[in-house]
Structures are given as C-alpha cells and as structure tokens.
Amino acid sequence: MFKNIPTATEFVDDYGYDWICHTNPESDKFYQDHNTIHYQIFNRGPEYIFDTAKENFAMYSTSMIKQNPGMVIPEHTDTYYKFKKDHGVEDDIVRWCVFLQDWQPGHYFDLDGVPLLNWKKGDYVELREGVRHRGANVGLLPKYTAQITGLKK
C-alpha cells in the first residue's frame, strides 16, 4: 500500500518552525480539545517534499503535521475545502500523506479501516476526497507527516 519517495532525508524538528495549534473540530464525549491537539505548518518542510510536489503535481499546496504523544486525530474525511477555494478547482484533488520519519512503536495511521504500520521515512499513501482515515500517537516521540495536496500531472 505504501509508495516511497527515494530522495527522503532525515527530518529533524529544529528549524524554528512556527507550528499552528489545532484540535478536533467535532467535539464528542470521547474526542475533545485536550486529546486531539496537533500542530500544523503550511508551505514549509524538507526540500524533497517540494521537489516531489513539483515533479508529480500540476498544482499543489503543502503542509506538515506534528502529533505529540498521547494525541489522536479521530476518524474523518478530508474535503480539500481550502485547496478548492484557493485554486478554484473541484475535482480530481488528491493528497499524499508522507511519513517524515521511520515508524516508531505507538505511531498509528489507518486508511479506510486498514491499519498502516512500519513505514519508512518517505513512504506515503494517497488519499482521495471522502476516504476515511485517522492517526494517533501513543508512543514516546512526536509523529511527523507532510501533506501534498493538489492535481497530479
């Protein structure tokens, strides 16, 4: 299920990234602000993410997500609302979720109910609009992903 970006380099979170704090937008009795905190930054990241986006996408945006231990992003679907609004497109939008570091025990991601584990840095999965997915970090180290969203060439 994984594809890989062979030019992936080691990711280190020491570049003074100005992370933006987010929480789950849909509160319920299990998932609330205190257990859904994650951080995002737009248009920053490893150079290989931008090279990959330029090579594979006609139009794109990028972001990175940092998920600290003890946090979850509950099951959801992406609508690509911001990309659609910013670029004036509606169809054929995809997102590549790229794992920036090798899998660590406790790091979790599932796609349409199928657990994905043991990824390597640069591994990615393609998400289409409406596909259910979720992530969690019950490990000891932060989990980092990058997202390339756009129209493929």
- pLDDT tens for the chain, 153 residues long, are 899 999 999 998 877 789 999 988 776 778 888 899 999 999 999 999 999 999 999 999 999 999 999 999 999 999 999 899 999 998 999 999 999 999 999 999 999 999 999 999 999 999 999 999 999 999 999 999 999 999 999
Any idea what the Cα angle at residue 110 is, between residues 108 and 112, rounded to 5°?
A: 170
pLDDT at position 29:
75
pLDDT at position 17:
85
DSSP H or E run through 66? strand 57-67
Q: Are 152 and 99 in contact (CB under 8 A)?
A: no
pLDDT at position 27:
66
Q: Per-residue pLDDT tens for 54-69?
A: 999 999 999 999 999 9
pLDDT at position 14:
79
Q: Per-residue pLDDT tens for 42-54?
A: 999 999 999 999 9
CA torsion angle for 119, 139, 16, 76 (degrees, to 10)? 70
Q: What is the CATH number of domain 3-7+17-152?
A: 2.60.120.10
Domain ranges of the chain: 3-7+17-152
Q: Are 78 and 125 in contact (CB under 8 A)?
A: no
pLDDT at position 100:
98
